[in-house]
């Protein structure tokens, strides 16, 4: 700092500049100024009040010549700006004193006691608005990888701070930039950013139970008229032929190999527009015979009176379990879902859902499958694997409600097996999407409100922020003493 006077502020005493060849420590080398307490006041007040115009005027007039200028507590001007939430001033300092340049800001600065980095500090900003987003992005992009992954004295990364403060933008930002591994990194108390988010959801009672069912208790759609006894013609078992069957649904069962299920064209065509199209294509007349001598043509006639049944083959990606296919076909005849042999198996229920989507089967069957999946996952009858991730990927196609998406998103964060089942190649993007699902439930006004979370982080065991031993933050105890605030 120099003795240049700026309008509205007292003149500051100069700080002697020690040349680098003096052999002094890095603390006194060029760009590492130690200002006396009375010198700090001029710039410090402008920084703490977020007065970017005054800070810019001081820089123009030579009152601040280095981004590494420190106050009496050893904090740089950039640290002070972030700690007091003066994001506009912090961005100004980053642009005026670029890192890795003479007199540039020091991105490797750490808190002398808790070991937190500038990223830890920025991730804990309250009311994370667009200006804070820009600041954190600037810090992140300019930092080496070692600083991005830096852990403080409590073994916490900056994602622990973001999860504790519910700054979901920071978490989404990190996810799409290859830091998804940090979501499972545990601190000294065993907390990971992922488990911290789940704790927030649990404390708020969000998605504790399965969503409200879409169907009635027995999962039935419209009842089949009593005089139409189609149920008597339903496929009895794989391989068995009901009366008048004229179509085969072929399944490549993962355990039994190829399984043929006999059914009726008219039923399948009436209940599925996809099968209707396929059956129409399979029943087209044969090719024309060559022209007769009189120039007319006639259709080729089958020599045999027996007509081979049409075959509708299911791809393994659509269904690879004969019990699932048989259950779906029987529903087309009865309209009921009673006595489902796999009602507690979320994986087979997911196959049923995929089958419904692939062939446009009746909506009541798809709704029942969704309800059964939610109930199975909620009861924990079978450890969830990829069901939450798969359903969230197809949320729009399935028409999932916000409550249903939130239920799945929470299970994804709460279950280790579900988390590991996320496609590693697309994990960052999927984590970002899941956080977007949770955001309206965790912040008062969602991503557009930007009013900041209201969850009391101090009630959480080993909460990474919001407690007295965090030792920094935007709160100041007194404006008359630059060193009086607990952010020191």
DSSP codes, 355-382? HHHHHT--HHHHHHHHHHHHHHHHHTSS
pTM score, whole prediction: 0.73
| Cα–Cα distance measured from residue 379 to residue 411, given in angstroms and rounded to the nearest whole number | 12
User: What count of Cα atoms within 13 Å lies in the side-chain half-sphere of residue 238?
Assistant: 18
The answer to whether the CB of 247 falls within 8 A of the CB of 310 is yes
pLDDT of 86 over the 50 cut: yes
Contact (CB, 8 A) for 247 and 265: yes
Q: Which whole number is the average pLDDT over 457-475? A: 32
If pLDDT is split at 50, 70 and 90, which confidence band does 323 have? very high
Q: Picking from 133-137, 221-225, 263-267, which range would have the lowest pLDDT averaged per residue?
A: 221-225
Query: Average of pLDDT values for 354-366?
Result: 94
Residue 39 confidence (pLDDT) above 70? no
pLDDT, tens only, 364-415 = 999 999 999 998 888 765 545 678 888 988 899 889 999 999 999 998 888 8
**Banded pLDDT at 43 (limits 50, 70, 90):** confident
Tokens for 447, please give them: 């991503």
Residue with the two structure tokens 């309206």? 440
* The predicted structure's pLDDT at residue 155: 97
The pLDDT-based confidence of 133 (bands split at 50, 70, 90) is very high
Closest to 251 (Cα-Cα) out of 382, 369, 365, 352? 352
Give tens-digit pLDDT for 50-70. Answer: 999 999 988 888 888 999 988
Q: Give the C-alpha distances (Å, rounded to integers) separating 306 from 233, 240, 246, 249, 309.
A: 21, 19, 11, 19, 9
Local confidence band at 215 (pLDDT 50, 70, 90 cut-offs): confident
pLDDT of residue 218: 52
Q: H or E stretch including 252?
A: strand 247-253
Is residue 153 predicted with pLDDT exceeding 70?
yes
Could you tell me which residue, 158 or 217, shows the higher pLDDT? Answer: 158
Residue 34's SS3 state is: strand
- 284 versus 136: the higher-pLDDT residue is 136
Whether pLDDT at 463 is above 50: no
pLDDT of 322 strictly over 50:
yes
């Amino acid at each position: 700092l120099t003795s240049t006077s700026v309008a509205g502020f007292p003149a500051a005493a100069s700080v002697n500049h020690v040349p680098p060849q003096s052999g002094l420590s890095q603390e006194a080398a060029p760009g590492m100024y130690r200002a006396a307490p009375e010198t700090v006041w001029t710039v410090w007040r402008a920084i703490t009040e977020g007065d970017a115009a005054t800070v810019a005027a001081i820089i123009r007039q030579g009152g601040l010549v280095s981004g590494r200028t420190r106050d009496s507590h050893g904090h740089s001007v950039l640290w002070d700006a972030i700690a007091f939430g003066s994001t506009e001033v912090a961005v100004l300092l980053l642009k005026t004193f670029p890192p890795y340049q003479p007199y540039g800001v020091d991105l490797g600065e750490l808190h002398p006691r808790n070991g937190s980095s500038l990223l830890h500090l920025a991730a804990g900003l309250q009311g994370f608005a667009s200006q804070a987003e820009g600041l954190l992005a600037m810090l992140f992009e300019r930092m080496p990888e070692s600083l991005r992954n830096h852990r403080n004295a409590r073994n916490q990364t900056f994602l622990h701070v973001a999860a504790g403060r519910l700054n979901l933008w920071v978490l989404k930002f990190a996810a799409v930039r290859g830091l998804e591994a940090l979501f499972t990194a545990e601190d000294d108390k065993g907390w990971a950013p992922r488990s911290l988010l789940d704790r927030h959801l649990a404390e708020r009672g969000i998605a504790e139970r399965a969503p409200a069912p879409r169907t009635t208790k027995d999962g039935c759609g419209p009842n089949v008229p009593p005089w139409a006894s189609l149920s008597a013609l339903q496929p009895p078992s794989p391989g068995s032929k009901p009366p008048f069957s004229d179509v085969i649904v072929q399944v490549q069962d993962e355990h039994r190999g190829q399984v043929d299920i006999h059914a009726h064209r008219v039923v399948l065509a009436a209940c599925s527009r996809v099968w209707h199209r396929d059956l129409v294509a399979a029943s087209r007349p044969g090719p024309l015979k060559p022209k007769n001598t009189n120039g007319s043509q006639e259709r080729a006639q089958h020599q045999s009176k027996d007509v081979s049944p049409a075959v509708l083959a299911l791809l393994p990606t659509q269904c690879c379990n004969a019990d699932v296919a048989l259950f779906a076909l029987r529903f087309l005849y009865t309209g009921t879902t009673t006595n489902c042999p796999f009602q507690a198996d979320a994986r087979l229920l997911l196959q049923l859902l995929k089958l419904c989507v692939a062939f446009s089967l009746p909506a009541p069957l798809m709704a029942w499958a969704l309800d059964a999946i939610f109930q199975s996952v909620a009861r924990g009858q079978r450890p969830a694997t990829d069901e939450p991730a798969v359903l969230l990927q197809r949320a729009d196609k399935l028409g999932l409600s916000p409550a249903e998406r939130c239920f799945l998103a929470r299970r994804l964060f709460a279950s280790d097996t579900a988390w590991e089942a996320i496609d590693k190649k697309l994990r960052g993007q999927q984590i970002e999407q899941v956080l977007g699902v949770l955001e309206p439930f965790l912040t008062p006004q969602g991503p557009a409100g930007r009013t900041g979370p209201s969850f009391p982080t101090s009630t959480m065991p080993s909460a990474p922020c919001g407690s007295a031993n965090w030792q920094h933050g935007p709160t100041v105890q007194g404006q008359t003493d630059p060193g009086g605030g607990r952010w020191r």
